[in-house]
Amino acid sequence: MRPTAIRRTAVAATVMSLALLTAACGSDSGDSAGKDDGKGGATSSAEPADKGGDTSSAKALTAAELEKVSLAQGDVKGHKVAKAGPADSITGDAVTTDKAACDVFADALMGAKSGTPAASTQRRIANQPKKGGDKESDDPAEAFKAAFDITTTLDTLSSYDGKGAEEALAGLRTAATGCASGFTFTAAGSKQKVLKIAEVPVKGGEEAVAWTVTVEAEGEKSAMKLIEIRKGTTLASLTALNLGASGAGGDFELPTAVIDAQAAKLG
């Protein structure tokens, strides 16, 4: 991989929360999420669901209930799942934008919780890097590229009373549409530009939506993914980055295995 591509990888990494960086580097702090066998089937569409009936009195999941539907080690084949700790998280206060209407989208993109949920959990997930083959040791550039072919995902589950989850997702949809042509944001002191927000197909829960977000930092472009899945009063927000793709200035696929596993646990 050329030096400029290596720099792209480093630059792209600065736009992510510490949770994603920790997962990408394969850190194991001993807090891997425990295995939970309760899984349900995902039935969904990328389009908003029919929300017939009054859900204003629906109750949020408790912290204990939310833990049961959060991803655990073993839920996603070929991936490492661990609980995100306090040092891994970023709050909405640490994310600012040049357009107030884009605040909620920037918060979600950086892994900050939307609104004021009654309970929340976070997991950091990374796929196992692919091996470069027999010639890996003879080609340092290819070995470097293979080592960073890792999609890391920060999965934030939030549970709300009443229509809080529906309203949070509706707010994100509105922000994505209004800010599709771009905006500037600062996260934890690092200034970035969102150049484009493009919706991509995804399925899960009662409502699901995903976007490819093109980000520029220090003149280098990279792609990020933001996926939202709502099931009842719970909203799953997943932010993903592939360091190898970012280093090459390219795009990458949605973390489908992670999305499907989380949608299944939500029921």
Alpha-carbon 212 to chain mean position: 11
Confidence of residue 246 (pLDDT cuts 50, 70, 90): confident
- Of the two residues 60 and 187, the one the predictor is more confident about is 60
pLDDT at 90: 80
How many CA atoms does the CB half-sphere of 95 hold within 13 Å?
26
pLDDT confidence tier of residue 69, bands split at 50, 70 and 90:
very high
Local structure of residue 36 (DSSP, 8 states): -
Q: How many CA atoms lie within 13 A of 183 on its CB side?
A: 24
**Rounded to whole angstroms, what are the CA distances from 74 to 113, 154, 180, 202, 220?**
25, 16, 36, 23, 35
Q: Are 167 and 222 in contact (CB under 8 A)?
A: no
Q: Does residue 179 have a pLDDT over 50?
A: yes
Q: Which of 237, 242, 105 is nearest to 183 (CA)?
A: 105
Question: How many Å apart are CA 262 and CA 180, to the nearest integer?
Answer: 27
Structure tokens at 211: 């976007």
Q: In what order do the strands lie in the sheet with 183-187?
A: 79-83, 119-127, 151-159, 234-242, 220-231, 207-217, 190-200, 183-187, 95-97
Q: Give tens-digit pLDDT for 113-159.
A: 888 999 999 999 999 876 654 455 566 656 666 778 899 999 999 99
What's the chain's length in residues? Answer: 267
Q: Which residues pair with 210 in a beta bridge?
A: 200, 227
Lowest mean pLDDT among 34-38, 85-89, 148-152: 34-38
What digits encode the pLDDT tens for the residues 201-216? 999 999 999 999 999 9
Percent of the chain scoring above 70 in pLDDT: 71
CA angle 208, 213, 216 (to 5 degrees): 165
Q: What is the mean pLDDT of the chain?
A: 81
pLDDT band at 3 (very low <50, low <70, confident <90, very high): very low
| Model confidence pLDDT, tens digit, residues 11-30 | 444 444 434 443 344 444 44
